[in-house]
Amino acid sequence: MYRLPIETHLEELATSLHLNITICTGEVTTPNEEDRPNIIREAHDSAVAGHKGMIKTYHRIREIYYWPNMMEEIRRYVKTCHD
- The least CB distance from residue 44 to Zn ion, in Å, is 5
Nearer residue to Zn ion within complex by CB, 3 or 82:
82
Query: Which residues make up the interface to Zn ion (CB under 5 A)?
Result: 51, 81, 83
Nearer residue to Zn ion within complex by CB, 55 or 81:
81
Provide the 3-class DSSP secondary structure of residue 29: strand
- Alpha-carbon distance of 20 to 33, in angstroms, equals 30
- The least CB distance from residue 51 to Zn ion, in Å, is 3
In this structure, the number of other CB atoms found within 10 A of the CB of residue 15 comes to 11
- The least CB distance from residue 82 to Zn ion, in Å, is 7
**CB 29 within 8 Å of CB 46:** no
